[in-house]
Amino acid sequence: MSKFTTCKYCHASVPFLELREQDFDVVTRAISAGSKTSAISEVEHFMRCSESEAKAWVGHLLNCIYAFPTSEADKKILDIVDRSFSHFTKPEHFTNYTHCDECQEHDNTFLKRTRETVRREDLGNVGWDPVTFTNAEGIAYLFPTLARYALIPGLWSTHDWYASQLLTHLSGGDHNNRFFAWCGSQQREAVFSLLNHLAATRMTEIENYLDGQELADALSTWKS
Ligand SMILES: [Zn+2]
Ligand SMILES: [Zn+2]
């Protein structure tokens, strides 16, 4: 029997399992290959825990951005992002919700979550992306979470690496980009630090996802 702890972010009850780095890699590879079942049996095997404990652990990893381990270098950037954005409170609405059914649906997606409980599936994909319809206040509220998703690998077989989507929101429109226009100098510097960090540490992924142009555009928008 593993000891269960309550996640302080999403409040899920999660078995306390500390996987070795190489075991964690095996598990995340199984997940991104689309086999949650084999990921669960790997966890059972590595941790000698029950199937239900392994299931709860994998479920938490997929549903809570805080379940994923953070490197020291990433943590430094996320601290800057948190200092610049975490004081923004949840807006009453995220989209122009009376505009159409799609705007209303995207609004509901974020209204039912907090910054801590947004799931990867909530962020959709290039063709169905609620952030595209989200106002600047809403993006500012969500930004610490969006930055975290951009820094973890594309773990979900059904969704791409999130940085690709985030870069489309941070590029385009130059200084008329609605989020750029809304941000103060502290927020702009934090976004620029995140972009620089992506350029310094994630170039392989950026090239694989063909995001080089978006990254260059975003860097030039946010640097001033
Ligand atoms: Zn959690
Ligand atoms: Zn609409």
Closest ligand relative to 134 C-alpha: 2
**For residue 48, how far is its CA from the centre of ligand 2 (angstroms)?**
50
Quote the ligand 2 centre to 103 CA distance (angstroms).
Answer: 4
Predicted local distance difference test score (pLDDT) of residue 185: 97
Kindly give the distance from the C-alpha atom of residue 96 to the centroid of ligand 2, in angstroms, as a whole number: 7
Backbone angles phi, psi at 146, to 5 degrees: -60, -40
Identify the nearest ligand to the CA of 103 by its number. 2
**pLDDT of amino acid 1:** 66
Which ligand has the minimum distance to the alpha carbon of residue 100?
2
Give me 119's structure tokens.
């799931």
Q: Which of 68, 78, 80, 146 is nearest to 110 (CA)?
A: 146
Rounded to the nearest whole angstrom, what is the distance from the C-alpha of residue 130 to the centroid of ligand 2? 11
Note the pLDDT tens digit of each residue in 72-116: 999 999 999 999 999 999 999 999 999 999 999 999 999 999 999
**Could you report the average pLDDT of every consecutive run of 10 residues in the chain (224 residues)?**
89 94 95 94 95 96 94 98 98 97 97 97 95 97 98 91 96 90 97 98 94 95 89
Q: How far is the CA of 115 from the centre of ligand 2 (A)?
A: 23
CA distance 18 to 3: 11
Distance of CA 67 from the midpoint of ligand 1 (Å)? 6
Please, what's the b/e burial string for 44-66 (b: 16 or more CB within 10 A of its CB; e: otherwise)?
bebbebeeebbbbbbebbbbbbe
Sign of the alpha-carbon dihedral angle for 25, 157, 31, 72: positive
Sign of CA dihedral 6, 11, 14, 19: negative
Alpha carbon of 127 to ligand 1 centroid (Å): 27
| Neighbouring residues of 117: CB distance < 8 A, sequence distance ≥ 6 | 9, 10, 64
Which listed ligand is nearest to 133 at the C-alpha?
2
**77 CA → ligand 2 middle, Å:** 34
Can you tell me which residue has the tokens 């620029």? 192
Minimum-distance ligand to the CA of 118? 1
Distance 193 CA to ligand 2 centre (A): 32
Ligand 1 centre to CA of 115 (Å) is 12
